């Protein structure tokens, strides 16, 4: 997918509206699961562990999943995909400077590489799991099950608790869509840095 | 008696004359521009305060203390909750939450899980999950977060488990209770030796509460700063009184029974207890009118060190039979000490109070008092009889008025991976 996504500074409402109309409810529902990670044997996933997993509570549309994933093996491990019963789709997103200099969210080409003996930090404003098309509201305290798909075909499962979080406004629109004014050079107005209203929170 | 009693245990000025320039180590100089300036101001203040402050001026350390103690950790996990018999920290905030109408058992469980996880991380000096100001968590300063359950929370989870005393206290004639300082479904008692640590923990816990509950009241209190006095020194309230002398010694067999129950008075659940929190205004302006003799008589203790008027040391047993030359009891029958002292030894409580000093109302100069905090295994059997006697007669009532009152059941602590209150869901 070559879709480029960007932070809306001003059009959270518009993005939320897009998200609402664009998402068919998924048939599956989140199931309660143990909060410990479950590794599939015979895969690189045995070398993975997760700490501080959490997901931003959201009423609908999109939201982000975060945590620190550690690789205790001597070889890099690549995450190529992710899924959750809580959302129709999960993408692996990174934050990069776009051609205009503004920070943009986009799908990570080639997936996330967790270096040998290192860790991958998923956090607001940086690499994260992007949940799109929430099946139902994710309310604070809910446990959300995630499955990471690894390059070797193995999977790594973990559960993340939903937190009431005002940041990580991971609502996206496609570049050039919905009359975004986000791409203007920084510093010309204060609007790009002012905190966007979050009418979609809670 | 005054500041002279509490010599800092640091290096003293030694043979340096009072006006001699002191040779500070280079490190001290590098740190110390601002600190030295403050020290000079403090010294000037001591002079201005007059002759009585001379000792205090002399005992000032030759250089700013370099000890840093913000790393102190009180374990969150354990059979019993922290923050009860934990030596009282310098700062405390008490927050009562009201659950949103219709909050289900499952929601209460989710809330307690989130808050327990926050409390565990922050107590350990680690950022809470999704902590946006994680740097503030790096100074735990003996942070404790203690959870108490009001009647509403227990009713939402398992009404059959509610102890009989989990209800508002009986009406007392001296009370002028305000709803804004009374009752509540969930208590968060947040204490630490650093007020910024307390504020951050409060913010984090309330962010995780706001999907489930609203803030009913907040009471912020303080004692002497960490290191100002020897640990274990009985606190003073804003009347200047030594307050809490007859407390059982923490972690003694005495406090064990008083706080955690035993014998005829079991706790409502193993390793559980109860807390009564009462906001008591202290009318400092009226207290100003009372001379020292009258002040001491009202309590039955000396202001200097808290000793009973029949004794010399703080912890001397009061002698209620002693009479003056004129035949009057040395400790008045209507003094606070006499009225609070039970005939029945089971009527004992463990106090862990904090002072408050709020902004004065229009035309006033103070709004001060005590956040009275009392732990006991059984409110009805231990606390209420004492309060009844004080309600009937206590000289101190002339200057003090309870304006808030709340009772909470304190559940046991939890193990790592668990949450406070989980036994209620069993």
**Which of B130, B210, B417 best probes binding to A when mutated, by most A CB atoms within 10 angstroms?**
B130
pLDDT for B211 equals 97
Question: B157 touching A, CB under 8 A?
Answer: no
pLDDT band at B278 (very low <50, low <70, confident <90, very high): very high
pLDDT for B43 equals 41
Percent of chain B with pLDDT over 70: 85
Mean of pLDDT over chain B: 88
Question: B415 touching A, CB under 8 A?
Answer: no
CB contacts of A165 in chain B (<8 Å) are: 130, 207
Cβ <8 Å between B210 and A164? yes
Separation between Cα atoms, residue B137 and residue B197, nearest integer Å: 7
pLDDT for B59 equals 53
pLDDT tens readout for residues A29-46 = 333 343 445 544 557 889
**Which of B117, B129, B206 best probes binding to A when mutated, by most A CB atoms within 10 angstroms?**
B129
Contacts of A89 by beta carbon, 8 Å cutoff, 6+ apart: A83, A131, A132, A133
Residue A152 C-alpha, separation from nearest chain B C-alpha, in angstroms: 31
- Domain ranges across chain A: 4-172
- Residue A150 near residue A44 (C-beta atoms within 8 A): yes
- Joined together, the tokens standing for residue B140 give 């735990």
Residue B154 C-alpha, separation from nearest chain A C-alpha, in angstroms: 19
**Which of A58, A67, A164 best probes binding to B when mutated, by most B CB atoms within 10 angstroms?**
A164
Q: Which residues pair with A117 in a beta bridge?
A: none
Q: What sign does the dihedral B391-B396-B402-B407 (CA atoms) show?
A: negative
pLDDT band at B237 (very low <50, low <70, confident <90, very high): very high
pLDDT tens readout for residues B156-171 = 999 999 999 999 999 9
Residue A14 C-alpha, separation from nearest chain B C-alpha, in angstroms: 24
pLDDT band at A95 (very low <50, low <70, confident <90, very high): confident
Q: Measured between alpha carbons, how far is residue B318 from residues B8, B244, B301, B313, B329 in Å?
A: 31, 14, 9, 10, 11
Separation between Cα atoms, residue B303 and residue B364, nearest integer Å: 26
pLDDT for A38 equals 53
Which residue out of B98, B193, B208, B243 is catalytically annotated? B243
Instruction: Identify the weakest region by mean pLDDT among A36-45, B133-142, B322-331.
Output: A36-45
The average pLDDT across A112-124 equals 97
Separation between Cα atoms, residue A35 and residue A148, nearest integer Å: 15
- Residue B71 near residue B124 (C-beta atoms within 8 A): no
Separation between Cα atoms, residue A89 and residue B165, nearest integer Å: 51
Question: B110 touching A, CB under 8 A?
Answer: yes
Mean of pLDDT over chain A: 74
Separation between Cα atoms, residue A124 and residue B275, nearest integer Å: 40
Residue A32 C-alpha, separation from nearest chain B C-alpha, in angstroms: 12
Separation between Cα atoms, residue B255 and residue B349, nearest integer Å: 9
Dmax of chain A from CA atoms?
Answer: 55
Q: Is B193 a catalytic residue?
A: no
Half-sphere exposure of residue B169: CA atoms within 13 angstroms, side-chain side: 31
Question: B212 touching A, CB under 8 A?
Answer: yes
- Residue A154 near residue A42 (C-beta atoms within 8 A): yes
Closest alpha carbon to B267 in B159, B341, B375: B375
Q: Measured between alpha carbons, how far is residue B251 from residues A7, A192, B204 in Å?
A: 55, 57, 30
The average pLDDT across A124-135 equals 95
pLDDT tens readout for residues B1-54 = 333 344 433 333 333 434 444 444 444 334 433 444 444 444 444 344 444 444
pLDDT for A37 equals 53
Cβ <8 Å between A141 and B111? yes
Instruction: Identify the weakest region by mean pLDDT among A155-169, B42-56, B276-290, B324-338.
Output: B42-56
Separation between Cα atoms, residue A148 and residue A108, nearest integer Å: 14
DSSP state of B12: -
Cβ <8 Å between B208 and A57? no
Residues of A with CB under 8 A from a CB of B: 52, 54, 56-57, 66, 139-142, 161, 163-165, 167, 202
Separation between Cα atoms, residue B136 and residue B198, nearest integer Å: 10
Q: Which CATH architecture has domain A4-172?
A: Sandwich (2.60)
């Amino acid at each position: 997918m070559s879709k480029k996504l960007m932070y809306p500074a001003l059009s959270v409402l518009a993005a939320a509206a897009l998200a609402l109309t664009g998402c068919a409810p998924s048939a599956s529902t989140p199931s309660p699961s143990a909060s410990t990670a479950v590794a599939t044997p015979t895969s690189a996933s045995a070398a993975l562990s997760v700490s501080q997993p959490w997901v931003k509570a959201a009423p609908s549309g999109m939201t982000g999943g975060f945590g620190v994933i550690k690789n205790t093996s001597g070889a890099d491990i690549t995450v190529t995909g992710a899924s959750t019963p809580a959302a129709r789709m999960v993408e692996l997103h990174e934050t990069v400077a776009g051609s205009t200099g503004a920070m943009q969210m986009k799908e990570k080409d080639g997936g996330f590489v967790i270096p040998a003996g290192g860790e991958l930090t998923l956090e607001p404003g940086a690499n994260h799991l992007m949940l799109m098309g929430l099946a139902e509201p994710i309310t604070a305290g809910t446990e959300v099950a995630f499955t990471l798909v690894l390059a070797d075909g193995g999977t790594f499962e973990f559960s993340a608790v939903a937190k009431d979080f005002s940041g990580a406004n991971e609502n996206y629109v496609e570049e050039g869509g919905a009359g975004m004014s986000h791409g203007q050079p920084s510093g010309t107005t204060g609007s790009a840095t002012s905190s966007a209203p979050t009418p979609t929170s809670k | 008696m005054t500041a002279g009693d509490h010599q800092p245990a640091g290096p003293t000025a030694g043979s340096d004359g009072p006006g001699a320039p002191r040779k500070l180590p280079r490190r001290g100089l590098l740190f110390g521009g601002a600190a030295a300036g403050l020290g000079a101001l403090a010294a000037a203040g001591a002079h201005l305060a007059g002759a009585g402050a001379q000792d205090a001026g002399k005992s000032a350390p030759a250089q700013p203390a370099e000890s840093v103690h913000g790393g102190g950790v009180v374990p969150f996990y354990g059979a019993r909750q922290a923050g009860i018999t934990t030596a009282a920290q310098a700062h405390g905030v008490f927050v009562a939450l009201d659950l949103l109408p219709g909050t289900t058992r499952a929601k209460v469980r989710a809330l307690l899980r989130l808050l327990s996880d926050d409390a565990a991380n922050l107590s350990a000096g680690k950022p809470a999950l999704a902590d946006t100001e994680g740097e503030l968590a790096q100074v735990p300063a003996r942070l404790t977060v203690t959870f108490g359950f009001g009647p509403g929370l227990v009713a939402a989870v398992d009404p059959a488990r509610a102890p009989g005393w989990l209800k508002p206290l009986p009406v007392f004639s001296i009370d002028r209770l305000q709803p804004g300082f009374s009752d509540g479904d969930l208590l968060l008692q947040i204490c630490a030796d650093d007020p910024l640590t307390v504020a951050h923990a409060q913010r984090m816990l309330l962010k995780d509460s706001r999907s489930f509950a609203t803030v009913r009241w907040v009471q912020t209190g303080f004692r002497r700063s960490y290191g100002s006095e020897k640990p274990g020194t009985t606190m003073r309230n804003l009347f200047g009184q030594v307050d809490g002398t007859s407390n059982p010694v923490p972690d003694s067999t005495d406090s064990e029974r008083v706080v955690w129950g035993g014998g005829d008075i079991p706790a409502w659940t193993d390793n559980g207890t109860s807390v009564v929190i009462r906001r008591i205004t202290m009318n400092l302006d009226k207290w100003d009118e009372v001379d020292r003799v009258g002040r001491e008589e009202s309590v039955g203790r000396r202001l200097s060190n808290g000793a009973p008027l029949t004794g010399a040391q703080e912890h001397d047993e009061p002698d209620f039979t002693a009479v003056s030359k004129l035949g009057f009891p040395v400790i008045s029958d209507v003094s606070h000490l006499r009225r609070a002292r039970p005939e029945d030894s089971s009527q004992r409580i463990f106090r862990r109070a904090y002072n408050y000093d709020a902004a004065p109302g229009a035309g006033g100069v103070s709004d001060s008092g005590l956040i009275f905090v009392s732990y006991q295994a059984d409110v009805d059997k231990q606390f209420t009889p004492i309060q009844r006697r004080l309600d009937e007669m206590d000289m101190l009532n002339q200057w003090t008025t309870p304006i808030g009152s709340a009772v909470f059941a304190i559940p046991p602590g939890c193990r790592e991976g668990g949450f406070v209150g989980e036994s209620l869901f069993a």
